[in-house]
Structure 1
């Protein structure tokens, strides 16, 4: 018996809102980064191009500088307890983030998450090359979750997130949970904390007589 739960990362499991924005502000590149964001949301460039343009602004910065930021990001209240509860109840756990692997990889390792998908900055000799491997764009979370479902054949699939790019994985899940959702984003359940997520999942397990 396998169950599957997929989490967005930033704003869901951790307190960072956007690693892209936070690194821009840390490195003094936000003005240009804001221009690129406006181009994307106006439909003038695609997500891959947007990620490449952003990463190009950080060329020459070191992995240590990036990880200094990633290591500073704090968990949302209840995150560790929730993951422990899920592992005790036969869930395979995935993180699907359109943020950066430097943060997602750290969180996945610390929490013992089974699968992690995020965008990878390309480093050479410990230095940002300005290139990026855009694994998760604004539409592909649903595709990734669908592939995981095909591989695992879970009896229950849950998705938890807060933003528009989480809606595609909401559609693939049996139950979707929106946590402090952005305006216009709704799940089957809308909650304010990870403690509420745990109670909803506990109820789902009970409904299935497990």
Structure 2
């Protein structure tokens, strides 16, 4: 028996809302970053172009600077306990983030997550940002990734937890969608304010095992 749960990362498992925005502010590139965001949301560039334009503003900054930010990101209350509960109850656990892989991988390793999908900044041999990005998770691909995991695992139950518009595609793939402190216009089968409530819903789904 296998169950599957997919989490968004930022605003869901960790308190960071957007690593892209936070690094722009940290590196003093937010004004230009806002211009690139407007180009994407107006349909003038695609997600891969947007990611590389953003990353190009950080060219020359180092992986250590990125990891300094990664280490500063705090977990949402109850994140560790929820993941432990899920592992005890036969869930395979995935993080699907349109943020940065360096953060998603750290969280995945610390919490014991089975699958991590996020966007990878490319560094050169000296550990400096090149401006290139491996754009694994764009604003529409979470559903396709979750569908692939379902085909691989054939779970008896699939749950998705997230807060933003880019989570809606994985919500549609899930048997049960849980929106946690969702952005305006984002709806799931359940709307909650904490990871403790997520656990309560899942306990109900699996019969309190």
TM-score range, shorter chain: over 0.9
Aligned equivalents of 1:15, 1:78: Cα separation in 2: 12
SS of the aligned residue for 2:59 comes to coil
Q: 1:62 and 2:62 equivalent?
A: yes
Rounded Cα–Cα distance in structure 2 between residues aligned with 1:101 and 1:67? 11
- Which whole-Å CA distance do the structure 2 matches of 1:176 and 1:32 have between them? 35
Equivalent position SS for 1:71: helix
Structure 2 equivalent of residue 199 of structure 1: 200
Give the aligned partner of residue 20 of structure 2.
20
Deviation at 1:94, TM superposition (A): 0.0
Unaligned runs of 5+ in 2: none
Aligned CA-pair RMSD: 0.8
- Runs in 1 of length 4+ with deviation above 2 angstroms? none
Cα deviation code 1:87-120 (max 9, x no counterpart): 0000000000000001000000000100000000
Distance in 2 (CA, whole Å) between partners of 1:42 and 1:155 is 39
SS at match of 1:190: strand
Deviation readout 1:160-195 (Å, 9 max, x if unpaired):
000000000000000000000000000000000000
> Within 5 Å, which residues of 2 pair with 1:97-108?
97-108=97-108
Unaligned runs of 5+ in 1: none
Aligned to 2:73: 73
Task: For residue 26 of structure 2, give the secondary structure of its aligned residue in structure 1.
Answer: helix
CA distance in 1 between counterparts of 2:92 and 2:120 reads 23
- Normalising by structure 2, we get a TM-score of 0.98
**For residues 95-152 of structure 1, what are the alpha-carbon distances to aligned partners after superposition, in whole Å with 9 as ceiling and x for unaligned?**
0000000100000000010000000000112111110000000000000000000000
User: In structure 2, how many angstroms separate the alpha carbons of the residues matched to 1:71 and 1:102?
Assistant: 10
Tell me, in whole angstroms, the C-alpha distance in 2 between the residues paired with 1:170 and 1:62: 35
2:47 & 2:70 partners in 1: Cα distance?
22
Tell me the TM-score normalized by structure 1: 0.98
**Which residue is 2:96 aligned to?**
96
Distance in 2, Cα, partners of 1:137 & 1:157: 21
Deviation at 1:43, TM superposition (A): 0.9
Q: Deviations over 1:61-93 (max 9, x none)?
A: 100000000110000001000000000000000
Which residue of structure 1 aligns with residue 169 of structure 2? Answer: 168
